[in-house]
Structure 1
Amino acid sequence: MKNQIPEQHTGGKLDTIAKAEFLTAADAKDFYQIAKRRLLHPSKWAEICEVPLSTFTLTDTEGNTLTREAREGDYLKIDIPGPGTHSGDSFDWVRIEKIEEEVSADSEIVSLQARPAANPASDDTSTAHFFTSLATSTFQVKRTGNLVYAEEHGRNEVPNTDTSHLADNIRNTLVGWTAKIGLSYPQWKSLVKGIADTESQIN
């Protein structure tokens, strides 16, 4: 299977992984489908997290809330603690640019890749996120034999400090710096643990 994670060139990076083990590959296959549904419904991510530091809302290309499974081209409106961006109407925004799944004889993987983007509900074309559009977050659910993994891989995480809004530049510097020193890790660790949680009733 090909590597779905972009190469690291600049800024920070983060890798977060959780694992569930089963007695048989058949059991793992069944749970892979559950974990996949959890991954592809970002509006449930805050519910899945034991430590929901942020909330995620799936939207269309005009910023309207969606309740269905995520698709390529959709957006995520992210509400993180503290003040949001002016350009994002107090939120951070990413666009889902890629959703891919590969299946082989003894393994399966689904990847959702998102990139910082402009607010789709605004005429402002500047990136409404604390990272620049160089950054990506790749969320994955994998099955290999009787093991199922949930993962998040952040790449090229550069603070977005060159917008047309001074307040956004200051805010993005602070939030980007805290993320760079690892304070985003609890959020993603909680999410991947939640996706891989075999005791959870969230399907």
Structure 2
Amino acid sequence: MKPKNIAGVPKHFKGSFHDTESLKEIHHLEDTDFQFNILKQRLLSINNWRKYCPESTTDFQLFDSFGNKIERFPEIGDYIRIDVTGPGGKEGRSFDWVKITMIDKEENAIMMQCRPSPDPGGKKRGKIAHFYSHCATSTFIVSKKKNILKASIHGRNEYPNFKSGIIDSVRNLIIAIGGMIGFSKIQWKCLTDGLVKF
């Protein structure tokens, strides 16, 4: 199986990848725009992602570039703090962090892209605080085509972060291997299903 070639999603060169998608058919065409607006708001309400996938133990919180928790829609340069099951990394104060590097809003689609990053509130601002290396990306897309709504997440170049000290590197390897063999796809499928489940 090869990664899908999607405009705006980086090319895949190394490590694992995934293309996770969920569809919802709107039976009354006149309701499509209304439902799509709900879907867009759900994607951009990062602090509520756990509510759309209550069976997951992973939590997501939006932070600004200074490391302050915020309650608003994301902007380029914001950060997402990820609280995964199991021991957290020392580098990210027991959390994993990604930076929002792109948000593209069009009439029938929104695309948001994130990349592993340092902890914005940490004292050491240089080292990546995530189990994947800085080369990994996650691209979140919600789109509308006729009466079909789609939520999708596309991971590329996912391989372990070995540049965060010995203890964190071992922890990163274990979590990354779990992600590479499919555990992260289960998490992302739970989220995409939840986003389109009205």
Which band: TM-score by shorter chain?
Answer: over 0.9
1:99 aligned partner: 103
1:193 aligned partner: 193
1:133 aligned partner: 134
CA distance in 1, matches of 2:30, 2:115: 34
CA distance in 2, matches of 1:192, 1:180: 18
- Deviation of 1:13 after TM superposition, in Å, equals 0.2
Two-structure CA RMSD over aligned residues (Å): 1.1
2:23 aligned partner: 19
1:109 aligned partner: 109
Percent pairwise identity: 36
Structure 1 unmatched ranges of 5 or more: 199-203
> Contact 2:116/2:133 (CA < 8 Å) preserved in 1?
yes
Could you tell which deviates more after superposition, 24-33 or 81-90? 24-33
2:59 aligned partner: 55
TM-score, normalization by structure 2: 0.94
Alignment of 1:54-203 (within 5 A): 54-103=58-107, 108-124=108-124, 125-163=126-164, 165-198=165-198
CA distance in 2, matches of 1:66, 1:150: 24
What is the letter of the counterpart of residue 156 of structure 2? R
> Contact 1:13/1:156 (CA < 8 Å) preserved in 2?
yes
Structure 2 unmatched ranges of 5 or more: 1-5
TM-score, normalization by structure 1: 0.92
SS in 2 for 1:175: helix
CA distance in 2, matches of 1:99, 1:162: 28
Deviations 1:63-110 (A, max 9, x none): 11001111111000110001111110000000011110122xxxx110
CA distance in 2, matches of 1:147, 1:29: 10
1:3 aligned partner: 7
- Deviation of 1:53 after TM superposition, in Å, equals 2.5
Q: Following superposition, which runs of at least 4 residues in structure 1 exceed 6 angstroms of deviation?
A: none
> Contact 2:127/2:163 (CA < 8 Å) preserved in 1?
no
- Deviation of 1:161 after TM superposition, in Å, equals 1.6
CA distance in 1, matches of 2:65, 2:140: 21
1:39 aligned partner: 43
Count the aligned residue pairs. 192
